[in-house]
Structure 1
Amino acid sequence: MNDNFKCIYKILKTLEKAMDYSEFDTSQIDYHSLEVSKERWSRYIEMMSDVGYIKGVKITSYINGETSVDIKDIRITLKGLEYLSENTIMQRLYKSAMGVKDLIS
């Protein structure tokens, strides 16, 4: 599976789990924790917002080409939950990867 979709899945899965909490630590889904460039991460967030998987993000594009992404109010939408539900192959890969991570940690 493509690493792009693994990162998107991880963001959505983390947001789904965050539904149980009144406060959410966004550092769990920032570009550092996902180990991707800030630019790639910003594009993931923008794409997921554009297709309706997430909401509560503020994306600002500047004249110099830079983009600012504010995710302090980020949350998953019903469409994002449907994506997780329908993507059973990715669920299995994610669980396998977490199992491997636990074994080598």
Structure 2
Amino acid sequence: MDRRKLLYSILKELQEGNEPKQTDYEITYEQWGEMAALIRDEGYAKGASVQYADNTVYFVALSSAKITMKGIEYLEQNSTLAKTYRGLKEVREWLKI
């Protein structure tokens, strides 16, 4: 899995006002939680919620997440990905490229 592409896709969907979900991607719930925590901790979005129990992800929500300026800058800095990204409908194939 290309984490840069995954991060780009999640941020792009947040920017578009969509709520990406773990089921949109071929990743485990643990990986989903790690990405949500990365987005929150790096300041790419506010309102991302990740909760743990015994170091295991048990709850992830991006329903209240809003992209920040830092997240927008990430999208702009990775404009080469924008040329090939087609949205959630084709995200699984795009991640494999």
Do they fold alike, i.e. is TM over 0.5? yes
Structure 1 length normalisation: TM-score?
A: 0.71
The runs of 5 or more residues in structure 1 that have no matched partner are 19-23
Query: Is 2:41 the partner of 1:66?
Result: no
Report the Cα distance in structure 1 between the residues aligned to 2:6 and 2:13, rounded to whole angstroms.
Answer: 11
The runs of 5 or more residues in structure 2 that have no matched partner are none
Give the structure 2 partner of residue 45 of structure 1. 36
Q: In angstroms, what is the RMSD of aligned CA positions? A: 1.9
Structure 2 length normalisation: TM-score?
A: 0.76
Report the Cα distance in structure 1 between the residues aligned to 2:41 and 2:22, rounded to whole angstroms.
Answer: 19
Give the structure, 1 or 2, with the largest relative contact order (CA under 8 Å, sep 6 or more).
2
Q: Determine what percentage of the aligned residue pairs are the same residue.
A: 29
Give the structure 1 partner of residue 4 of structure 2. 5
Q: Report the residue type matching 1:4 in the other structure.
A: R
Q: After TM superposition, where is structure 1 displaced by more than 4 Å over at least 4 residues in a row?
A: none
Greater percentage in helix: 1
Greater percentage in strand: 2
